[in-house]
Amino acid sequence: MSFVLGLRLGRWGIAGFSVAALVSAFVQTAGFYQIAGHTAAERTAFGASMATLATQFVALFPPPIRPDTVGGYVEFRGIHPLAILFGVWALASAMGFARGDEERGIVEASLATGTSRIALVASRASAFVAAITAASAAAGAGFLAGVASGHETVELRGLIEDLALLVAVGFSCYGIALLVAQLVPARMAAAAAGGVLLALFLLNSLSRVFASLATWRWLSPFRYYDLGQPLPPGGYFDTRALLAMLGIGALTAAGAAVAFLRRDLGGALVNVPLRSHRPGYDASPTVLWYLPLARGLYERRAGLVAWTAGMAVLAIVFVSLTRTIVNVLLSVPALLPYLSSFVHQQLYPAVLGFTWFNVAQLLFAALAITYVARWSAEDDDGRLEIALSEPFSRAAIVVERMAVLILAALVITAVSGATLYYASHAEGIDLNPGRLVAASLMLVPFALVFAAAGSLLAAWNPRAAVGLLGAFAFASYLDTELGTIFKLPMWLQDLSAFKLFGTPLLTGIDGRNLALMMLLALAGLGSSILAMQRRDVGA
């Protein structure tokens, strides 16, 4: 019963991520036949350009194998991003079970039926494996449909091996996140687990650039994922790497089950000793508690500190990577005529603006999703009902939520932008201060677009909000990636916040794009207020 319940509770996530995987694999595969050419010479030239492009993403993905073939191209542009997406899904699913279902009383109700804690963890982990297997199969179906549209065939064995790697890396991320969630207090679980997974990902990806990290990359499940690229012709599959990822998932899930046995519901295995004080029941005299925005930021202080510190560290990392990427680009003779046009436009800032702000956009979309997850949880755990009894109007609650997100985003952009500026100056890379400030501030309306869409989804169906918002964010990313390839209408491309963000570090802020982003955010905000007014709390 717990296995079926896990599938039922995660049905929106299964549907959303399966559709995202199917569409992503199909459009990337079909896009290959649109842009790669048809002759051997055209595809060889295309593969060389893709290999050069891959050097700018060294901090995200391993170098591609045979990008001149549909298998090599789709593995680099479609399958590897899905591994990151499934890692995020694993994090959200593990937090939903370990902490979200505890707050809603679902875990307590399951244990009341006589199900042991170990059996409950095993059944929910098995449910996630079944879910990610379904989503991986959907990606495989999308790839095969795309190959059929190009009137080609591929070897099924390589595809099956690639999908098995996706399942294994997702399962290992789920086990790690589930274990971390048992160790720390509930309010810190998502930030701690996300920080651990991000650190493991960067440990592996940055080891491709910084040799000093190579000694420790065996700790990361993403290292074992990189050891296999079976989809392209001449690719390879490492059975031991697959078993290592499955072993990591099984061991961490077992560790989470043992930790679950030893802690109280709602508690943590590792309790931080707090200073003893006499409990008081009088209202606090602090004036700040009468300010809704101050309350909202204080409640999310741990997450805000984690996001701010993490973005600052990543800014330093990407500044360090910039010189390596530029040196690789300059070493390619075919690119020298093109790159020479950038001499007067500062090549180093151009590369830094492209790499760092692309990653920053993804992280700010993730930030919006985490806030929407919190808003959705408040509908079930009673916090929304308490707020409405103060009394606050429903419209005021929606506006306050967005205002808290704006302030948090401003704090993160201020710290990460200042870090980027001083780290670049230390590396001898001169950035235009005005454009850097403008580019950093553009991340705030960018996050608002996704937050407003998530607010509407949370007001309409809280349980499905996170999964649907994740699918919306992924569709927006695909829109800007594939809009030019498939010649999509401009109005459809303008619905993507990734497209509207532009390149503000190089060209400044586009007033039209900023206005469109604000209009999208205001439309989502107004719609969410209307939806909130018409739905009963908990319905």
Where does the pLDDT of residue 60 fall: very low under 50, low under 70, confident under 90, or very high at 90 and above? confident
Indicate yes or no: pTM above 0.95.
Answer: no
With tokens 């295995």, the residue in question is 269
Domain borders along the chain are 299-539
Neighbouring C-alpha atoms within 13 Å toward the C-beta of 119: 10
Distance separating alpha carbons of residues 401 and 406, to the nearest angstrom = 9
> Which segment of 19-23, 203-207, 381-385, 391-395 scores lowest on mean pLDDT?
381-385
> Which amino acid is present at 264?
D
Buried b (16+ CB within 10 A) or exposed e, 317-326: bbbbbbebbb
Residue 497 has pLDDT above 70, yes or no: yes
Q: Render pLDDT for 231-266 as a digit per residue (tens, 0 to 9).
A: 998 889 999 999 999 999 999 999 999 999 988 887
Residue type, 142: G
Share of the chain above pLDDT 70, in %: 88
Higher pLDDT, 447 or 62: 447
Extract the tokens encoding 208: 């491709």
Q: How far is the C-alpha of 216 from the C-alpha of 201, rounded, in Å?
A: 12
Give the residue with greater pLDDT, 485 vs 362: 362
- If pLDDT is split at 50, 70 and 90, which confidence band does 134 have? very high
- How far is residue 311 CA from its own chain's centroid? 14
Long-range contacts of the stretch 495-503 (C-beta < 8 A, 24+): 495/520, 497/361, 497/365, 497/446, 497/449, 497/450, 498/361, 500/446, 500/449, 501/357, 501/361, 501/442, 501/446, 502/442, 503/353, 503/354, 503/357
Model confidence at 337, pLDDT cuts 50, 70, 90, reads low
pLDDT at 386 over 70: yes
Query: Rounded mean pLDDT of 168-173?
Result: 96
Which pLDDT band, with edges at 50, 70 and 90, does 335 fall under? low
391 has pLDDT over 90: no
Range of weakest confidence among 215-219, 446-450, 502-506 = 502-506
Q: What is the rounded average pLDDT for all residues in the chain?
A: 83
Short-list 58, 51, 507, CA closest to 317? 58
Asked whether residue 279 carries a pLDDT value surpassing 70, the answer given is no
Q: Count each helix (H run) and each strand (E run) in the chain, helices first.
A: 24, 0
- Cα separation, 215 vs 304, whole angstroms: 31
